[in-house]
Chains A and B, each alone.
Chain A
Amino acid sequence: MIPLLATLLLALPGAVPPPLSGQAPLDDAHAPSNSIPEARASLTPDTVLAPPSGPRIVMLGAEGEGVAAMRIFIPLTEGPVEEGAGEVLRDLALARMQGLANLVGARVSASRTPWGLAYEVEGAAADFEYLAYVLRTAVGEPDTAAAALDAALHHLEEAQARARETPDGRLAAELRAAVAPGVSPLEGSAATLRGLDAARIRQVWRRSHQASAMTLVVSSPMVPEVVLAATRGMGAPEAAAAAPPDAPALPDRTRAQVQTLRSWYGEAYGTGPDRDPVAAVTALLLADALNARSADYEVGVELWDLPSRSVLVLTGAAYPRNAERMRRAVSGTMEALRTRLDEVTVRDAAARARADILLDARTPGGLVEVVGRAMEPAGAPDAAARHLEELSRVGLGEVAALIDRMRAQAPVRAEVRP
């Protein structure tokens, strides 16, 4: 399943309301939009450590804070026959983490992203060593005993079935296959699922989960020495770097029938490199515009961040009597937005995109998530802070140019009918 870094729900506010009578609404006149030192500082790591045996440690000091949060990222590239192995490793690790975290009331999560695997734990700073132990367990050798592995494979099979048999899953899969043909679905396919036995899962773990490849983002009051000591010797034994096997996977011949009462329609546009701030602002504007046009049907705008590229996806779902209107709305939104684009609208959308990031990062767990995710593609510790700053510089010219580029290219289209 392609992860969606930005799913823009169309409950977003539409046009900017007029100023309140008798009140001067806040504007950025006194705070230039590219001058946000506090916001930038809050996403900028205080310390970056790179011990030779790993993991690389990015620290967001939190003196006096009662909560500690840690997120460890492991880059993972699957060979064709391994597709879906990352999802299985994620599932197995999450089960181990949950059991341990429940004992002390900590929170855990695990995610598979296009760049790898991430495990996160958040709890009392006083329990820091225990939280580190939970993470150590997460990145440790997976329990591939039959019961645990069967459960993980069953979850994977369900995810694959959702992508094949639900209309939105099928629409996304078809759009992804057409707009990013080299990018495989993270959940793999029914053909690769059969080959994911205990030996293959352990092999993928050994190759990927070496501490020297990991990046740990920490928000805690602990001094670096404590963090270093708590994380030493994590993961699989160090070995020479190995490439994933390139043996081709068997073709997937699974046939599935999608049951739907509504017509689903989608268009996808390549927008440029991943984490492009202009694409993020444009996605928000398109969501506003599409929402304004929708009536008796459901619409959505998504921004997919994939390795080296981002893809903007517009979708709609309507019962047969409204299907044609829905298709016209999805297809015509780009044009409609372009004709009424102005500087104020773009600036407001950029401010909202920036605010969303800062709101997401307001807890220690949210902070390590925002900083850690931004680091995944290139590993730059200040990637989140830079992204925030870049968002504040997005203007009318950049958005107009991107929309013009997208209008000039024929979008990839997909449709699922009842």
Chain B
Amino acid sequence: MRRAYGVTLLVALLFMGMTPFQVMSQEAPDTAAMPGGYRATAWSTHPHGTVVAMVLRIPAGSANDEKGSEGTAALLAQTLRDQARRALGPGHGAVTATVNRGTTLFTFLVLPEVWPRAATLLDSVLYDAPIDDSILDRHRRGQMARLAFESDSPGTEFEAEAARLLAPSGSPWARPVRGTPESVSALSPAILARFRRSLYRRAETARAVVGPRSLLPTSTVALPLPVDSVLADTIPVAVADSQAVRDTVPAPVAALPPEPRVASDTAPGLAWSSGTRVDQVQDVTSTWIRVAYPIARSTSRTAAEMLVTLVHDELDPTPPDPDRYGVQVRLLDVPGGTALVVDATVFPEAAGRWEDKITGTISRLASGPMQPDLFGWRRRRFRTERLLEEASPELEAERMTGDLIGTGRARDLAVEIWSLDAGTVYQAAKELGPPRILRFGPDLGEAHAPVSPDRSGFSRAVPRSLRGYTLTGRTEVARPSSGF
């Protein structure tokens, strides 16, 4: 919305005989000091923004940890986050770091008076400064204590099992993000430095900056360019840092180790083509369910995000189902693509019903397009929720870096959401691949087994022996693809 508005303003000013330079050069900031060399940078403004949010997305995460050195990415990010906080100093902003399996995100919220000097400083901490041994050691000891405390906990087991569900057998993607007590104890400054040297590369890092208008670099729009160029640059799509405009096709995501792939498990456009069902018996007081569907590569990110919202609204309305403790629906980048993942924690007695409810919701959404009026209303809600979420500058910047890595350009969300129609979202649901399902909880017997057929075409009222209920551990039952 705000970008479209900016375009309108510029067009109007051009017709009034003013050049963009005359407009945008007011309070033009000194952006020459901004560090460069990134794969791409996207910018966006908040008119009354009080801080500058900068997010750096490094396409390397725990999947890049070496075997035996699991936890490297997480420990490195924690250490560098603290070094960045110390360099920023008190009262100048905030720094957070998030390590996922495939990415590491550094988020900086910086006060205007220290921008853009802070950007330069934080850049040098992340990429160049020596790793501080004392900070590293403190985090390593803390991490080991936490992991030791959590070892054998049901949560840790579920997390590991849920990750294995989404990755090919043996894939490093499924390794524990924070490592194990043994692997973390063996992590040395040299291992972390090697990881950073090989994977923290500016040329692979996507950067997004969201802040007050007066602090944004205007150089890309300050020149009196032809109208088309002005429009193109005003919309804050990826701005290549090198002088030459880069190809918008993204470079390959960096350096994931080669994954062992099962030929029959992949299909063009989907992360997997065969469904799986895993029941794991655990003596816990609630049942955790994960249901994941691979999303077709042809599905737009915005359509997939709306599908997530629709599924969530169906599964977790207000007032909530009294049998559920929590429901989370999200998109997850997995080896070979993206998946729509539903995680639900429910009363054990309701587990079968909830599994049906989740798969049934997807089936309904894939059975035909919504009525236009109903779709229009849901889209309006979706748009508002996304706008409110991205009113936090750091969340907008985070999303933009994901866009840059994924497609090479930051989406104009408001425009893309308006362009969605019922058919697009229906298509996204219809093209979902077969689900992979994990149930993790106590064995209550057949009385609580799911009974309805699901979209993968096989009845799930399977005999107990095939459903993987064992008292000692895990049995995986691979399902044939339904081919839908």
Contact = CB atoms under 8 A, between A and B. Distances in A.
Contacts of A105: 380-385, 388
A246 interface: no
B172 interface: no
Interface string A327-356: 000000000000000000000111111110
A61 interface: yes
Nearest to A357: B50
Contacts of B129: 20-23
Interface stretch (B2-10, B35-43, B162-170): B2-10
A359 B388 contact: no
Nearest to A46: B48
A31 B414 CA distance: 36
Contacts of B463: none
B9 A63 contact: yes
B114 A362 contact: no
Interface in A343-385: 348-355, 358-359, 361-365, 367
A102 B92 CA distance: 37
Contacts of B89: 16, 25-27, 348
A351 B132 contact: no
A103 B385 CA distance: 11
A364 B5 contact: no
Contacts of B49: 42, 362
Contacts of A364: 48, 391
A52 interface: no
A17 B85 CA distance: 9
Interface string B366-406: 00000000000100111111011011110000000000000
Contacts of B3: 64
Nearest to A351: B91
Interface string A100-111: 001111110000
Nearest to B110: A26
Interface stretch (A123-131, A142-150, A166-174, A303-311): A123-131
A17 B130 contact: no
A61 B1 CA distance: 15
B48 A358 contact: no
B47 A38 contact: no
A359 B51 contact: yes
Contacts of A358: 50-51, 111
Contact of A67 (B6, B377, B388): B388
B88 interface: yes
A367 B88 CA distance: 24
Contacts of A122: 388, 391
Contacts of A103: 377, 381
Interface string B1-41: 11111100100000000000000000000000000000000
Contacts of B393: 362-363
A71 to B, nearest CB: 14
B385 A221 contact: no
A60 B9 contact: no
A62 B124 CA distance: 34
Contact of A19 (B45, B50, B86, B390): B86
Contacts of B176: none
B189 interface: no
30 contacts: A23-B87, A23-B121, A23-B125, A35-B113, A42-B48, A42-B112, A61-B47, A63-B5, A64-B4, A64-B6, A64-B47, A65-B2, A67-B391, A105-B381, A107-B388, A124-B383, A124-B384, A127-B384, A348-B89, A350-B91, A351-B90, A351-B92, A352-B90, A359-B51, A359-B109, A361-B50, A362-B392, A362-B393, A363-B393, A364-B391
